[in-house]
């Protein structure tokens, strides 16, 4: 792998930060409707929420155009990435993914006994689909694609990805992590979910942590073939990890379309502000389809984080291809202004 992260430095004491831009959280959430629903359900917390969870799954099934049997819920999509990895790699094998990409599934695959076959992103930061297909061998148990990708924020061409998933899933299941897809105007059209209804062995992960602003309330789901979910759910129960109030909050948040639109719009405005800031400073960046922006910095990651933290700004730093990079999450516009002035002090 040719990227690494500076972790301990990335999470300073939250209370001391003026702008917390280090975990791709949605600064506007949860939606007021979700908060009300959550509050109203706290006294039900002596019960398991199975019936209510099935109601939520029904609602998600309608939204995604699939059957309830095609859905597995979890306390955030991390849980489902990890459970998928534990089940798929129980007998070893390898996982093919881009590098750099989101490491949650890959790390659990490795810990479970699998090896990782990283395929560098292309120069335009999209997935090297040809390279990934060539990397698949008889031991490959899963291909992991994060689209849009984290930590780069970049997208892979829709038609090429549909083609890749359709063909490759005949040989090996393809896991597509769409955590940030909702920040696109036309997210539904860009999702790989319709491949599930076409019978393809793809697994799509979605989360309430990003556009819904519910990172701390922990709800996510995967959409896949029933037979694939059977393998995972035979030994694990994702729904067991979701709290009663969070089930209600997720359902209410799905109805709050205005909140999602607001998050999308303000996120896009902040992205434009950061682009303009970086342009003015003479810095380049990876054009983002997400709620964060990755850009190269001329400073070693650890000291950059220390200096930004001293300014009250939490961001992330990566070493990618032996260069230093900053990943900044979109906060409120006020937070982005604090970030911009901190950056000018730290980097100039």
> Which of 220, 239, 245, 314: binder of ligand PLP (CB under 6 A)?
220
> Which of 99, 177, 182, 256: binder of ligand PLP (CB under 6 A)?
177
Q: Is there a contact between 128 and 151 (Cβ–Cβ < 8 Å)?
A: no
How many residues lie near ligand PLP (CB under 6 A)? 13
Both tokens assigned to 229 = 């979910």
Q: Closest CB to ligand PLP among 52 and 177?
A: 177
For residue 139, with 0-12 CB atoms within 10 Å meaning exposed, 13-18 middle and 19 or more buried, which class applies?
Answer: middle
Both tokens assigned to 113 = 């006994």
Order of all β-strands in the sheet with 115-120: 71-74, 220-223, 202-207, 174-177, 140-146, 94-99, 115-120
> Which of 10, 108, 129, 179: binder of ligand PLP (CB under 6 A)?
179
Q: Is 77 one of the binding residues for ligand PLP (CB under 6 A)?
A: yes
Q: Is 154 one of the binding residues for ligand PLP (CB under 6 A)?
A: no
**Which residues ranging from 196 to 215 are in contact with ligand PLP (CB under 6 A)?**
207, 209, 215
Q: Is 253 one of the binding residues for ligand PLP (CB under 6 A)?
A: no
First to last CA, the chain: 31
- What mask, x for binding ligand PLP by CB under 6 A, covers residues 89 to 118? -------------x----------------
**Which residues ranging from 11 to 50 are in contact with ligand PLP (CB under 6 A)?**
24
Both tokens assigned to 141 = 């148990």
Q: Which stretch in 72-80, 131-139, 232-240, 324-332 sits in contact with ligand PLP by CB under 6 A? A: 72-80
Residue 205 in 3-state DSSP? strand
Per-residue DSSP letters for 24-79?
---TT-S-HHHHHHHHHHGGGTTS--HHHHHHHHHHHHHHHTS-GGGEEEESSHHH
Residue 116 in 3-state DSSP? strand
Q: Is 78 one of the binding residues for ligand PLP (CB under 6 A)?
A: yes
CB of 137 to ligand PLP, least distance (A): 25
Both tokens assigned to 332 = 């409120």
Q: Is there a contact between 218 and 75 (Cβ–Cβ < 8 Å)?
A: yes
Q: Which stretch in 6-14, 28-36, 74-82, 268-276 sits in contact with ligand PLP by CB under 6 A? A: 74-82
CB of 150 to ligand PLP, least distance (A): 4
CB of 149 to ligand PLP, least distance (A): 8
Measured from the Cβ of residue 33, the count of other Cβ atoms closer than 10 Å reads 17
CB of 146 to ligand PLP, least distance (A): 5
CB of 75 to ligand PLP, least distance (A): 8
Residue 224 in 3-state DSSP? coil
What are the residues binding ligand PLP (CB under 6 A)?
Answer: 24, 76-78, 102, 146, 150, 177, 179, 207, 209, 215, 220
């Amino acid at each position: 792998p040719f990227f690494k992260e500076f972790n301990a430095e990335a999470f300073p004491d939250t209370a001391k930060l003026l702008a917390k831009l280090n975990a791709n959280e949605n600064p506007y959430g949860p939606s007021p409707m979700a908060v009300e629903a959550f509050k109203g359900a706290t006294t039900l917390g002596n019960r398991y929420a199975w019936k209510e969870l099935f109601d939520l799954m029904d609602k998600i099934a309608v939204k995604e155009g699939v059957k309830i049997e095609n859905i597995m819920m979890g306390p955030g999509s991390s849980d489902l990435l990890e459970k998928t990895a534990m089940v798929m790699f129980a007998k070893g094998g390898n996982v093919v993914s881009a590098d750099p990409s989101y490491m949650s599934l890959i790390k659990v695959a490795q810990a479970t006994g699998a090896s990782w076959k990283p395929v560098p992103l292309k120069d335009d930061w999209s997935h090297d689909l040809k390279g990934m297909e060539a990397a698949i061998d008889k031991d490959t148990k899963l291909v992991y694609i994060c689209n849009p990708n984290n930590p780069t924020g970049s997208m892979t061409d829709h038609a090429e990805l549909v083609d890749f998933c359709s063909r490759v899933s005949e040989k090996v299941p393809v896991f597509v992590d769409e955590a940030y897809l909702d920040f696109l105007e036309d997210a539904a059209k860009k999702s790989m979910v319709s491949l599930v209804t076409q019978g393809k062995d793809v697994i799509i992960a979605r989360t309430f942590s990003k556009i819904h602003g519910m990172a701390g309330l922990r709800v996510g789901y995967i959409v896949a073939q029933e037979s694939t979910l059977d393998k995972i759910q035979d030994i694990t129960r994702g729904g067991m990890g979701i709290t009663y109030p969070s089930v209600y909050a997720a359902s209410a948040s799905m109805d709050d379309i205005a909140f999602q639109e607001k998050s999308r719009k303000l996120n896009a405005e902040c992205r434009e502000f950061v682009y303009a800031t970086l342009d003015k400073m003479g810095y380049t960046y990876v054009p983002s389809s997400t709620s964060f922006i990755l850009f190269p910095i001329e400073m070693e990651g650890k000291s950059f984080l220390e200096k930004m933290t001293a300014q009250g700004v939490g961001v992330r730093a990566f070493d990618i291809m032996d260069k230093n990079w900053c990943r900044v999450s979109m906060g409120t516009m006020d937070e982005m202004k604090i970030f911009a002035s901190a950056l000018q002090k730290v980097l100039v």
